[in-house]
Structure 1
Amino acid sequence: MATSTALRRSGRRKAARTLTEIPEYPDRPVAEIPGRPVAEIPDHLVAEIFLRLPTAEDLARASAACVSFRRLVTDKSFLRRFHRLHAPPVLAFYDRDGFHHPLPPHRSAPAASALAAAADFSFSFFPNHLDWAVQDIRDGRVLLLCPGECQQRQVSMELAVCDPLHRGYVLLPPVPEDLVASVAHAATEYKPWCEPFLVPIDEEAETAFGVIWMVHFHTRLAALVFSSSTGQWQAAASKEWKDLFLERGESTTVSPIDHDYHKRHYAYGCFYWESSETQKKELLVFDTRSLEFSISDLPPREWCPLGLAIVEAGEGRIGLFGILDEALAGKLDLCYYIKGNKGESSGNWQLEKTISLESPGRPHDIKAAAGTYLLLGKLGAMQFIGSTPQRLGFEYISVDVKTLQLERVCTKSSGFAFSKTWIYTNFPPSLSSPTV
């Protein structure tokens, strides 16, 4: 007991020497300053100190100092607080060429390399994995879909949630036909357009997960939700397209092209889709808390195709990154807007920053966004091999929303460079409940 107490006190003294400074002696630890004895730090103050450590790696090192530090750091309530304050790092991204992880000198490179060595991103642990396709990635988990022999997506297709790190998976039950019929009503003259995606992990039940089937019928849209807690699908929301646009004071006469939305984004409990119509400056919004659909306006600018992303700007505000279409001016700018910034109305977009993308002849596009990170793609420089001009791969750049710092992630062959891309962040909890 005496030894354990001594180790605990020693660990607390190390934290005080490392993390506390006295203004009169900025270069000397507290323990070395005359007349400044080190008192034992209460647990709640140690927790506040640890919450201010810059990275999860620093937190892991601190937890190794003594048993009481480890007990505090592994407490679920503390970890939830830490994760709310510190966005998970970019550990990899996925496109049709597979998974790619950041390389040095990117700050996520060490953790990404460790993940790449530990995880099975080929899904070899999943039966018939070559017949399944990635549909979404969130919180370290991957949603797979089995197209089967059908060429068009249907709500009846098979889905599975995989965990590449722990090599586990869960097969989802099929969506009941009567459930689909209950939200379709008379809107069956056209085959619906369907999109499955993952819901962010519930902080209170980390092993649980949710999946949404968004179904776009000709005259209405609907959301079907699966919860791993209940093991069942249920209808969450539905809305007539005419009612959605009537709320905005627009015509109630709709056609299929009037509600063509794509490229999904997520921030603070809401999913967003861009309109595919270049004339429409709007987003389709689904709020997972109120289970309501709505339409939100975009800043009235000329955006490049594949040049938008919604991110979490902090303090519950959403941010928007967009690449301006200024080809005639011979330049590319990445603009960052925040909705409701600096006390303004929550309905207004405020320009926060303009970043010049100085690469003449090398177009950029926004590949993906997750939480407080953005992933940019840039065509490599042109070089001649003999008399044939060829691009030197495709360069990927991450943008930290908090600092607006740009970092080179890696370079890959152009291959499927323009395919859909997802960012992989976070080390997920196992899909299975912990066992002794």
Structure 2
Amino acid sequence: MDFELGLLPPAAKHRPSAPTTITDISDDLLREIFLLLPSLPSLVRAAVACRIFLHAVRSSPAFRRRFQAKHPPQLLGFFNDPRGNEIPSFNPLRNRSDLDHTAAVRGADFYLTRLPEDSCNPSLGWEIASCHSGYLVLVNRTTPKIGAYNPFTQAMDLFPQPPDQIAAYFPEPPEEIVLSLKDFSPFLEFHIVISEEDQGMFRMVSVQHRNTQRQVQACIAVFSSATREWKVSPWVETPTPLQPEDDGEEMLFEAGMQSNGFVYWKHTSQAYVLVLNIATLQFSGLDLPLFLGEVDSELFILGHTKDGKLCMVAADDSNAKIGTLDVWFWTADDHGVEKWMLQDTYPLSTFLDVTKSSTEDHATLKVEGLVDGFVYLSIKYDVHTQSLLSLCLETGKLSKLFDDTYATPAHPYIMAWPSSLVYNKANPCLKIQKDSQTKISGDSVADVGPVGTKESSSALVVSSQAYKSEI
């Protein structure tokens, strides 16, 4: 045999190893990689690259929570209330170093082009009632309609205002007085609640207060996008502060502040907040430190930190040089008793531009918003000079967002977690680029076609196309 003659046997032929493909990477490892992405628009770009990436993101609600906890809220810009009868304007937050952020801003309809116009008087505009969960709630006082619009997904829903009984200011109005909703619409508040699992579904909560001596009654109406109907609750008495009002003085509250499933109304002259749990529609009360009783509404705001802690920010701007901005957390003390505890204090001079020192004495501060642990402040030096800043409550980092020409009031627009990155139980076979071509029909927006057409590209699709054109 050959090997007996000193010849080596032929080398065994080894089968080539199978090439490593994307399918060999586990979902857990993919999610750990995705956590390293710098922003939510970057995650969208990565997730829509292929079905495997999309499945890894969509299949884990825990990943969604981890990503949101690790990254700051994705601020895309600020809406301004219209002056006169104009449509609300938008100031985009420019970030040229982040192409994904730029693509997201460019792909959204921040000009609100889908808002319907009054054919008789197209100059009449819409007012911003609230801005929450990626939606603008808009009211046109000349029409009986309300609009809920997501500029990023371009989802529009039009529905009627609540029934007249929620606006009945008097228990039994005299026969000669005819009350209509239009007469009381400025007193109504609208707060939108979006389903996390199906962002096409929402509830609109409208609240009307009826102020009387020593007592405030409230009526709640809830509109469901599923039933397309308003459901009005009976008028109820709300909790009152421990220290009653003086005889003859009405109980009055500032406009409501929505945050993390609650709406908060600060009393105009007492250290007290009325609270509504949006899920249960139950009212409760919350006392404040006494010196905050008569603080101006523009210098006070309630909200939550990134980890869900209730916090409030209040400013004393009686003197720009010696005033302070105070941050309070609702937390337990050493004895386990929950109370307001002072977390941080910032001199107002921290927020002033030293280059404008000549107008420093006349500078005024306004608290514009508090979202996920970020406070948005505007500093006004004169009628032509105004800056908008952000303050991170976790790190104390101060950033200048706009300078000199910014106008208030400001509504921060935060990019919501896209519905395409959420597993839909009703349709587990949801396509990667799920959307619909829509049109306004009656009181709602009707689906009229599939996704993917050039005519109906959603902001997510537009963004992904922009991403590809830039790489």
Q: TM range, normalised to the smaller chain? A: 0.7 to 0.9
Aligned mate of 2:346, from 323, 330, 355:
355
The alpha carbon displacement at 1:90 in A equals: 1.3
The alpha carbon displacement at 1:60 in A equals: 4.5
Q: Deviations over 1:151-192 (max 9, x none)?
A: xxxxxx421112223334211134234x538x8782657975
Aligned mate of 1:7, from 9, 16, 21:
21
Is the contact made by 1:101 and 1:410 (CA closer than 8 Å) also made in structure 2?
Answer: no
In the alignment, the residues of structure 2 paired with residue 65 and residue 168 of structure 1 have an alpha-carbon distance, to the nearest angstrom, of 23
Q: 1:125 to 1:340 in 2, by over 3 A?
A: same
Q: Which AA in structure 1 matches 2:21?
A: L
Aligned mate of 2:299, from 307, 314, 324:
307
Q: Deviations over 1:247-301 (max 9, x none)?
A: x54549876x532211322232111112222xx1111211112311122112233
In the alignment, the residues of structure 2 paired with residue 3 and residue 93 of structure 1 have an alpha-carbon distance, to the nearest angstrom, of 54
Aligned mate of 1:403, from 380, 385, 395:
395
Aligned mate of 2:162, from 147, 168, 175:
175
In the alignment, the residues of structure 1 paired with residue 323 and residue 18 of structure 2 have an alpha-carbon distance, to the nearest angstrom, of 60
Q: How many residues align?
A: 374
Is the contact made by 2:331 and 2:339 (CA closer than 8 Å) also made in structure 1?
Answer: yes
Q: Deviations over 1:61-106 (max 9, x none)?
A: 654787533431244736643465245311111123621122358x
Is the contact made by 1:377 and 1:395 (CA closer than 8 Å) also made in structure 2?
Answer: yes
Q: 1:54 to 1:115 in 2, by over 3 A?
A: closer
86-95 vs 72-81, which deviates more?
72-81
Residue 136 of structure 1: aligned partner: 130
Q: Which AA in structure 1 matches 2:152?
A: L
Q: 1:365 to 1:211 in 2, by over 3 A?
A: same
The alpha carbon displacement at 1:310 in A equals: 1.2
The alpha carbon displacement at 1:357 in A equals: 2.4
Q: 1:158 to 1:70 in 2, by over 3 A?
A: closer
In the alignment, the residues of structure 1 paired with residue 54 and residue 19 of structure 2 have an alpha-carbon distance, to the nearest angstrom, of 14
Q: Which AA in structure 2 matches 1:118?
A: G
Residue 328 of structure 2: aligned partner: 337
Aligned mate of 2:280, from 277, 287, 290:
290
Q: Secondary structure at the match of 1:334?
A: strand
In the alignment, the residues of structure 2 paired with residue 6 and residue 305 of structure 1 have an alpha-carbon distance, to the nearest angstrom, of 60
The alpha carbon displacement at 1:346 in A equals: 5.9
Q: What is the percentage of aligned positions where both structures have the same residue?
A: 20
Q: Which AA in structure 1 matches 2:285?
A: I
Is the contact made by 2:321 and 2:348 (CA closer than 8 Å) also made in structure 1?
Answer: no
Q: Which AA in structure 1 matches 2:227?
A: T
Is the contact made by 1:285 and 1:295 (CA closer than 8 Å) also made in structure 2?
Answer: yes
Residue 186 of structure 1: aligned partner: 171
Is the contact made by 2:365 and 2:377 (CA closer than 8 Å) also made in structure 1?
Answer: yes
Q: 1:314 to 1:112 in 2, by over 3 A?
A: closer
Residue 265 of structure 1: aligned partner: 257
Is the contact made by 1:94 and 1:100 (CA closer than 8 Å) also made in structure 2?
Answer: yes
Is the contact made by 2:317 and 2:365 (CA closer than 8 Å) also made in structure 1?
Answer: no
The alpha carbon displacement at 1:366 in A equals: 0.5
Residue 102 of structure 1: aligned partner: 93
In the alignment, the residues of structure 1 paired with residue 17 and residue 285 of structure 2 have an alpha-carbon distance, to the nearest angstrom, of 63
In the alignment, the residues of structure 2 paired with residue 312 and residue 165 of structure 1 have an alpha-carbon distance, to the nearest angstrom, of 24
Residue 370 of structure 1: aligned partner: 371
Query: Could you state the TM-score of these two structures normalised by the residue count of structure 2?
Result: 0.68
In the alignment, the residues of structure 2 paired with residue 62 and residue 170 of structure 1 have an alpha-carbon distance, to the nearest angstrom, of 30
The alpha carbon displacement at 1:307 in A equals: 0.8
In the alignment, the residues of structure 2 paired with residue 4 and residue 67 of structure 1 have an alpha-carbon distance, to the nearest angstrom, of 22
Q: Matches of residues 30-429 of structure 1 in structure 2 within 5 Å?
A: 42-48=26-32, 50-51=34-35, 55-60=39-44, 63=47, 68-75=52-59, 77=61, 80-82=64-66, 84-85=68-69, 86-96=71-81, 98-104=89-95, 113-128=102-117, 130-131=123-124, 132-148=126-142, 157-177=144-164, 180=166, 186=171, 188=173, 194-219=187-212, 220-236=217-233, 238-241=235-238, 244-245=239-240, 248-251=241-244, 258-277=250-269, 280-301=270-291, 303=295, 306-327=298-319, 330-341=321-332, 345=336, 347-358=338-349, 359=352, 360-361=360-361, 362-380=363-381, 392-413=384-405, 417-418=407-408, 420-427=409-416, 429=419
Q: 1:272 to 1:237 in 2, by over 3 A?
A: farther
Q: Secondary structure at the match of 2:250?
A: helix
- The unaligned stretches of length 5 or more in structure 2 are 1-15, 83-88, 353-359, 420-434, 436-444, 452-471
In the alignment, the residues of structure 1 paired with residue 211 and residue 137 of structure 2 have an alpha-carbon distance, to the nearest angstrom, of 26
Q: Point out the structure with max Rg over C-alpha.
A: 2
Residue 468 of structure 2: aligned partner: none
Q: Deviations over 1:177-209 (max 9, x none)?
A: 4x538x878265797563232323221221112
Q: 1:346 to 1:49 in 2, by over 3 A?
A: farther
Is the contact made by 1:90 and 1:373 (CA closer than 8 Å) also made in structure 2?
Answer: no
- The unaligned stretches of length 5 or more in structure 1 are 13-41, 150-156, 381-389
Query: Could you state the TM-score of these two structures normalised by the residue count of structure 1?
Result: 0.73
Q: CA RMSD in A?
A: 3.7
Identify the structure with bigger relative contact order (alpha carbons < 8 Å, sequence gap 6+): 2
In the alignment, the residues of structure 2 paired with residue 324 and residue 344 of structure 1 have an alpha-carbon distance, to the nearest angstrom, of 30
In the alignment, the residues of structure 2 paired with residue 164 and residue 59 of structure 1 have an alpha-carbon distance, to the nearest angstrom, of 19
In the alignment, the residues of structure 2 paired with residue 167 and residue 66 of structure 1 have an alpha-carbon distance, to the nearest angstrom, of 24
In the alignment, the residues of structure 2 paired with residue 271 and residue 5 of structure 1 have an alpha-carbon distance, to the nearest angstrom, of 55
Q: 1:316 to 1:78 in 2, by over 3 A?
A: closer
